[in-house]
Structure 1
Amino acid sequence: MITLAAAQALTWLLVAAVAVVMALLFRSLRRFYRVVAPAGALMAGGGPPPGAQAPTWTGAALDGTPVVFGGPRARMQLLLFVGEGCPISRKLAPIARDFARREALDLVFMGDDSAEAQERLVASFGLPRGQMVNDDRYGRMIGVDKLPFAALLGTEGAIVAKGLVNSREHLESLLTAHETGFATVQSYLAARSHAGHAHAA
């Protein structure tokens, strides 16, 4: 009887110890996440910075539909600059379409290639021709230099965020910039960390 009671007590002690260890691990993971959060879109140096008004320009989709960039609009506009020969662009295209649909964004794919290459692109990526603009002028206006590159334009016509992207997390970081008011996820985390240190002091 004494042995059974001792075994039960030892079992409860082990359960309590595991619970304490799990709580400590969870706390450590939360602290680690604050310090090393998922990277956001990599900011590029050229063109107007986030917060500036986006250049106003009207282009044409492959089906001839006029596409207006910049200026006030009903919904935010997500521009994704892709290339037919870029494997990351190929991977990101369906992700961007799903992301834009879920977040109610107007998505426009932007390219800079021959007409034949762009036709191959929309066919292989499965894109509507009315969602693809083959013109490099707007990319030069906002400072695109590498692919794939994304820019999020707000409803008032300002550049919310922009940068090189290669995953859904990078696309989400552009929207995080809109929700938090910070140009990048990293600047948001830095400000939050600074505020935490000031509060602790």
Structure 2
Amino acid sequence: MVEALIVSQVFLWIAVIGLGVLCFALTRQIGVLYERIAPAGALSMNEVLKPGEDAPSMSLPTLTGVMQEIGGTRDGKRSQLLFFLSPDCPVCKSLLPAVKSIARAEGDWLDVILASDGSDQAHKEYVKAQGLEAFPYVSSEILGRQFGVAKLPYSVLIDEKGKIASMGLVNSREHLDSLFVAKQEGVHSIQDYLNKREPA
């Protein structure tokens, strides 16, 4: 009886040690996997403009009738984030809390501008429904064409010198954040940054 108990304890400890080794091995493999999987940045699909070029400079009316300056140097102090959206785009709607959060967190150096085209009345209703009154909202087909916007939601980060810092199709908060990381690191996209870090 005692021998059987000792044998069972030995097997139990062997099983516990084996499970510990297995967990350690799995943890290491997960770490390796995270290193190999690059963070996803905004997907740039633009054939009209490229990061580093001067952003189109224009003055357009917002839904409230105030003229909004887009592009240009703006005294060389503030950047602009253009967020192209549509009232009938569910992904755009899901990103609005992130856009509001970014506007609050980065308000000391960044101006967020919402942009779309189509019926002003539909946009005014959308602004009211989503609580977007604090943002300049431009409805202009010309603006979308000038920035080469083909799909939504799309964002363009214009730096304080009026140049395009980064841009791309944004489907998540991670994509939006990647625009700021690209500007901070002085690269056109997260993919460019990762490529520069890879050993030759």
Tell me, what secondary structure is at the counterpart of 1:117?
Answer: helix
Q: Which amino acid aligns with 2:146?
A: M
Tell me the alpha carbon deviations over residues 77-123 of structure 1, each in whole angstroms, 9 at most, x when there is no partner. Answer: 11100101111111111211112321332111001011111112112
Map 1:138-157 → 2, pairs under 5 A: 138-157=143-162
Q: 1:65 and 1:15, CA in 2 relative to 1: closer, same or farther beyond 3 A?
A: farther
Q: State whether residues 62 and 136 of structure 2, in contact with CA within 8 Å, keep that contact through their aligned partners in structure 1.
A: yes
Q: State whether residues 61 and 132 of structure 1, in contact with CA within 8 Å, keep that contact through their aligned partners in structure 2.
A: yes
Q: Which amino acid aligns with 2:56?
A: P
Matched with 1:91 is: 94
Cα RMSD (Å): 2.6
Q: State whether residues 78 and 100 of structure 1, in contact with CA within 8 Å, keep that contact through their aligned partners in structure 2.
A: no
Matched with 1:78 is: 81
Q: Name the TM-score, length of structure 2 as normaliser.
A: 0.83
Q: Which amino acid aligns with 2:48?
A: G
Residues in 1 aligned to 2:194 and 2:22: alpha-carbon distance in whole angstroms = 27
Map 1:52-71 → 2, pairs under 5 A: 52-71=53-72
Matched with 2:183 is: 178
Q: State whether residues 115 and 138 of structure 2, in contact with CA within 8 Å, keep that contact through their aligned partners in structure 1.
A: yes
Tell me, what secondary structure is at the counterpart of 2:196?
Answer: helix
Residues in 1 aligned to 2:122 and 2:95: alpha-carbon distance in whole angstroms = 18
Matched with 1:160 is: 165
Q: Name the TM-score, length of structure 1 as normaliser.
A: 0.82
Map 1:1-201 → 2, pairs under 5 A: 24-73=25-74, 74-104=77-107, 105-128=110-133, 131-192=136-197, 194-195=198-199, 198=200
Q: Which runs of 5+ in 2 are unaligned?
A: none
Shift of 1:63: 1.3
Tell me, what secondary structure is at the counterpart of 1:176?
Answer: helix
Residues in 1 aligned to 2:106 and 2:134: alpha-carbon distance in whole angstroms = 21
Tell me the alpha carbon deviations over residues 120-146 of structure 1, each in whole angstroms, 9 at most, x when there is no partner. Answer: 211222111652111121221111011
Q: State whether residues 114 and 135 of structure 2, in contact with CA within 8 Å, keep that contact through their aligned partners in structure 1.
A: no
Q: Which amino acid aligns with 2:99?
A: A
Residue correspondences, number: 194
Tell me, what secondary structure is at the counterpart of 2:165?
Answer: strand
Tell me, what secondary structure is at the counterpart of 1:156?
Answer: coil
Residues in 1 aligned to 2:113 and 2:190: alpha-carbon distance in whole angstroms = 23
Residues in 2 aligned to 1:50 and 1:178: alpha-carbon distance in whole angstroms = 10
Q: 1:173 and 1:119, CA in 2 relative to 1: closer, same or farther beyond 3 A?
A: same
Tell me, what secondary structure is at the counterpart of 1:150?
Answer: strand
Residues in 2 aligned to 1:47 and 1:145: alpha-carbon distance in whole angstroms = 10
Tell me, what secondary structure is at the counterpart of 1:84?
Answer: coil
Bigger mean CA deviation after superposition, 55-64 or 32-41: 32-41
Tell me, what secondary structure is at the counterpart of 1:67?
Answer: strand
